[in-house]
A = this chain, B = another copy of it.
Amino acid sequence: MKSKIPEATITRLGTYLGFLSEADREENVTISSGEIAEKIGVSPALVRKDLAYFGQFGTRGVGYDVSLLHRQILKILGLNVDWNMTLVGFGNPEIALWLGKDLKKHGFSITSIFDLDPEKIGVTVNEVEVQPINKLEETIRQNGIQIGMIAVPSEVAQDITDRLVKAGIRAIVNFAPILLHVPRYVELHNMNLALGLEVLTFNICERST
């Protein structure tokens, strides 16, 4: 039984990664927890603690090997392999295209796209053909797809979510502007802008008073 790793640690690992790939490009050889901490805005002890959950990556008196640590964190986060995703909802082809390009750079590929509108079926983007929604389960199962993106109208978003979950998807990225309900074993990531702005507006108001 391994000790539980805080989700905050995983999120931070992701930000360390961003900084490390920068440092890696600049050909820095080693880096200390203090340097990482300063850039990210956390304490050095926290950086060391976060890393310590996964092993001993550094050298006392020296620091961490940038390139090695970079690769280690990629591996920890499961980003050293390619991930196939499915996109449900092709209402805005431009967005799908933009999304695909952005994701590709980080090792994620949209390998299937579905839509409810018969008019959209057969359209091809980045060599992926839009399929009718009734092929959803079959495609997910056959290709072992683990991450699904939901970009359908709010009214049908929960329905589609349920179908994805039943078909065995492990994580869902939700672009629809509503709260989705998923079983505990399915990861949900909300990508709706409006639903994230309340922290900003609250803090703006708070600091003005």
Given known contacts A11-B198, A92-B94, what 6 new A-B pairs fall within 8 Å (CB)? A14-B199, A17-B198, A18-B195, A19-B179, A170-B200, A171-B204
A199 touches B189 (CB 8 A): yes
Q: A156 interface residue, CB < 8 Å from B?
A: no
Assess whether B146 is in contact with A204, with CB atoms less than 8 Å apart.
yes
* A:1-57 near B, CB below 8 Å: 7, 10-11, 13-15, 17-19, 39, 41
Contacts of A147 in B (CB 8 A): 197, 200-201, 204
- A76 partner residues in chain B, CB cutoff 8 A: 202
Cα(A35)–Cα(B177), bound, Å: 22
A95: B residues at CB distance < 8 A: 92, 94-95, 98
How many monomers of this protein are in the complex?
A: 2
A108 contacts partner chain B, Cβ-Cβ < 8 Å: yes
- Is A133 part of the binding interface, using a Cβ–Cβ cutoff of 8 Å? no
Q: How many angstroms from the CA of A18 to the CA of B197 in the assembled complex? A: 13
Q: Is A78 an interface residue (CB 8 A)?
A: yes
Choose the segment among A63-71, A99-107, A117-125, A134-142 that binds chain B (4+ C-beta atoms closer than 8 Å): A99-107
* A203 CB → nearest B CB, Å: 5
Tell me which residues across on chain B come within 8 A of A179, comparing CB atoms. Answer: 15, 18-19
A191→B191 contact, CB < 8 A: yes
Report whether A200 and B177 are in contact in the complex, using a CB–CB cutoff of 8 Å: no
- Say whether, besides A171-B204, A179-B19, A199-B14, A194 and B102 are in contact (CB < 8 Å): yes
Instruction: Find chain B residues with CB under 8 A from A92 CB.
Output: 94-95, 98
Residues of B contacting A17 with CB < 8 Å? Answer: 198
Q: How far is the CB of A110 from chain B (nearest CB, A)?
A: 11
Give chain B residues whose Cβ lies under 8 Å from the Cβ of A197: 83, 106, 108, 147, 173, 189
Provide 23 A-B residue pairs closer than 8 Å at the C-beta atoms, listed in order of the A residue: A13-B198, A13-B202, A17-B198, A18-B178, A76-B202, A77-B202, A77-B205, A78-B202, A78-B205, A92-B94, A102-B194, A103-B193, A108-B194, A108-B197, A147-B201, A147-B204, A171-B200, A171-B201, A171-B204, A173-B197, A187-B203, A189-B197, A191-B196
